[in-house]
Amino acid sequence: TRLIADGTGRDVILDNDVNLATIAERTASGENDFVYLWLGSGLGAGIDIGGRVQRGSSGSAGEIGYLEVPRSAAALDPQAGDFTDLLGGPAIARLLGVTTLAEAVRVLPDNEAALTEIAARVALLAAVLEAVLDPALLVLGGPTGLAGGTRLAELVAARLGADSVQVRAGRANRRPVLQGARALLVSRLRQRLEARIEEDA
């Protein structure tokens, strides 16, 4: 960040796509305590606690795609070694019999069998997030989560059980990463303006 700032003479903020989508979800829904599960080509979790995205000491909080799957995942995909193998873009494309994730998300909403299978896989990952973070709300986002929509959220919730975390589809459903970047920029500009006003007062 410092090298870019020094080279351009501008303030620079670097963030990842999932964190920005989490900010967009907070803005769209008004929620400020939830885990945003990004289901796309890769996987990630945005952790929002008290209206603040948790990035961890090195900025890598939420990198869940590389977690090894539990033994029970073998019944769903015996070749899956980690959660990206189980739920990433190539896995979803194979499940729907297409080549790319873009093709998969186009046909997913009308494929109940595929939604049920994906829900079983998401529920395994959600159980891990529950055990570690104990969130009240799990939001399904990213291309797969948004394509699955309310029906996928219902199926995941049914898998987890009534006493488990609440699950719903993302509400920031049009370019959430760009929405989050804009919200972050507006917030930083407001902070800077307020600071300048205080200095001049």
- Which amino acid appears at position 193 of this protein? L
- Which amino acid appears at position 149 of this protein? G
So what's the pLDDT on residue 13? 66
So what's the pLDDT on residue 164? 86
So what's the pLDDT on residue 174? 80
Phi, psi of 168 (to 5 degrees): -150, 165
So what's the pLDDT on residue 183? 86
Task: State the Cα–Cα distance between residues 93 and 108, nearest whole angstrom.
Answer: 10
So what's the pLDDT on residue 26? 94
So what's the pLDDT on residue 197? 81
Residues of the chain with pLDDT under 50: none
- What is the reported pTM? 0.88
With beta carbons less than 8 A apart as the criterion, state whether 67 and 82 touch.
yes
User: What does each C-alpha distance from 114 to 44, 97, 105, 106 come to in angstroms?
Assistant: 21, 10, 11, 12
Q: Is the dihedral of CA 123, 127, 130, 136 positive or negative?
A: positive
Two structure tokens written together for 44: 């990630």
With beta carbons less than 8 A apart as the criterion, state whether 122 and 39 touch.
yes
Task: State the Cα–Cα distance between residues 153 and 59, nearest whole angstrom.
Answer: 28
So what's the pLDDT on residue 16? 86
So what's the pLDDT on residue 143? 96
Task: State the Cα–Cα distance between residues 127 and 164, nearest whole angstrom.
Answer: 9
